[in-house]
């Protein structure tokens, strides 16, 4: 079955360009020009990935992202003319998986869509669950347990946690993690990582302000430990 992609943008030229392009690549494409229609399409069409503009005429795209995250964990790629760090942080903080600033390259967007779908589909065969202290990361079922309680993570949070837990005790630089999670084009976008780590700590740490698992190495990166 082809992946189902919902494009949400109020610019007709964007929809008129992206929708045919994605269809030629074999995707099943739906479109929406405002937030309300987008939310209705999410409920009705159950997309596998969402490309979301922030500047919608009725509901801010951040609120649409927040609403979607209450029911679905599908990848959300924000495609917006807003390039300020604050806008990126807000979108990533409510659950967006990626952020591309307009104007954008079509091939870059296609590459990020492919990468997001691969991660979401679990194209890499999972192995045994990762056990780190009180955390159990079940890659086959995309589940995380902390002291027996199941945690609800977004796809990006799950990917980051899995990547860090696969390298216990090792200091991973910001650039290394950014490249592994978002690809080579994101190595100079540390705000992506900072926001995602903060969101993940709130879910896996008993005390996010004094983390046990994800430790900060100042000016360098992060280190995962179960000590």
Residues of the chain with pLDDT under 50: 123-124
Using CA atoms, how far apart are residues 35 and 8, in angstroms rounded to an integer?
8
Handedness of CA 203, 208, 213, 217 (dihedral sign): positive
Please tell me the predicted confidence (pLDDT) of residue 219: 83
Cis? peptide before 73, omega within 30° of 0:
no
Please tell me the predicted confidence (pLDDT) of residue 35: 95
Given a contact cutoff of 8 angstroms between Cβ atoms, the answer to whether 74 and 47 are in contact is: yes
Using CA atoms, how far apart are residues 217 and 215, in angstroms rounded to an integer?
7
Q: Which of 164, 10, 5, 175 is nearest to 102 (CA)?
A: 10
Which domains does the chain possess? 4-121 (3.40.50.2300), 130-224 (1.10.10.10)
* 3-state secondary structure at position 227: coil
* 3-state secondary structure at position 101: strand
Considering the entire predicted model, what is its pTM? 0.68
Please tell me the predicted confidence (pLDDT) of residue 126: 55
Q: Which of 60, 62, 143 is nearest to 96 (CA)?
A: 62
Q: Which of 130, 151, 153, 152 is nearest to 140 (CA)?
A: 130
Query: How many C-beta atoms lie closer than 10 Å to residue 2's C-beta?
Result: 12
Over residues 47-75, the pLDDT tens digits come to 999 999 999 999 999 999 999 988 888 89
Q: Residues 115, 117, 225, CA angle at the centre, nearest 5°?
A: 70
């Amino acid at each position: 079955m082809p992946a189902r992609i919902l494009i949400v943008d109020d610019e007709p030229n964007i929809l008129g360009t992206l929708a045919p392009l994605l269809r030629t690549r074999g995707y099943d494409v739906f479109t929406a020009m405002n937030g309300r229609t987008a939310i209705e399409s999410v409920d009705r069409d159950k997309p596998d990935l969402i490309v979301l503009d922030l500047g919608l005429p009725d509901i801010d795209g951040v609120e649409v992202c927040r609403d979607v995250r209450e029911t679905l964990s599908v990848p959300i790629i924000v495609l917006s003319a807003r390039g300020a760090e604050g806008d990126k942080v807000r979108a990533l903080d409510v659950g967006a998986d990626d952020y591309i600033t307009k104007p954008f390259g079509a091939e870059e967007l296609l590459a990020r869509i492919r990468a997001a779908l691969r991660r979401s589909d679990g194209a890499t065969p999972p192995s045994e669950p990762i056990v780190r202290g009180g955390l159990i990361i079940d890659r086959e079922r995309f589940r995380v347990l902390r002291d027996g309680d199941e945690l609800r993570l977004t796809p990006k949070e799950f990917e980051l946690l899995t990547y860090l837990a696969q390298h216990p005790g090792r200091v991973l630089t910001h650039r290394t993690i950014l490249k592994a999670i978002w690809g080579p084009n994101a190595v100079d976008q540390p705000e992506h990582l900072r926001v995602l780590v903060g969101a993940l700590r709130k879910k896996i740490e008993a005390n996010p302000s004094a983390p046990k698992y994800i430790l900060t190495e100042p000016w360098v990166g992060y280190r995962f430990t179960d000590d």
